[in-house]
């Protein structure tokens, strides 16, 4: 009998240490984790998603052309994936969050 695979979390954070902390915490909850350092990388992963990605954990302020808010808006269109946005600072417009 095949063992069911664990749900997959996509962690999108441009700060290496913060990305690793979140990833380790999720791995301890028995999730498989894919780490991305940009929204662009996360979108490439999601484009290949076979249905295994269950959640996206993203920083609001990401390096690159797409920020975490734009990524979250894209993810919100994928009804089976939950998205969590976080930010350690205070320099964001909360009206942009979903």
| Structural domains of the chain sorted by starting position, each given as residue range(s) with its CATH number in brackets | 8-87 (3.40.50.2300)
Q: What is the mean pLDDT of residues 63-68?
A: 92
pLDDT tens digits along 16-55? 999 999 999 999 998 999 999 999 999 999 998 878 899 9
pLDDT at res. 95 = 55
Residues facing residue 12 across a β-bridge: 36, 58
- The pLDDT of residue 3 is 47
Q: Report the 10 Å Cβ neighbour count for 27.
A: 14
Q: What is the DSSP letter of 72?
A: H
Question: Residue 98 and residue 52: Cα distance in Å, rounded?
Answer: 22
pLDDT value of residue 5: 79
Q: What pLDDT is recorded for position 44?
A: 94
Q: Which helix (H) or strand (E) is 39 found in, with range?
A: helix 39-47
pLDDT, one tens digit per residue, over 83-94 is 887 876 655 555
């Amino acid at each position: 009998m095949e063992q069911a695979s664990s749900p997959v979390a996509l962690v999108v954070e441009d700060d290496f240490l913060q990305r690793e902390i979140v990833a380790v915490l999720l791995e301890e909850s028995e999730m498989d984790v894919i780490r991305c350092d940009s929204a662009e990388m996360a979108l490439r992963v999601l484009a290949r998603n076979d249905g295994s990605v269950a959640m996206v954990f993203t920083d609001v302020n990401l390096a690159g052309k797409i920020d975490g808010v734009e990524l979250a808006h894209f993810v919100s269109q994928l009804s089976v994936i939950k998205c969590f946005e976080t930010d350690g600072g205070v320099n964001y417009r909360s009206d942009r969050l979903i």
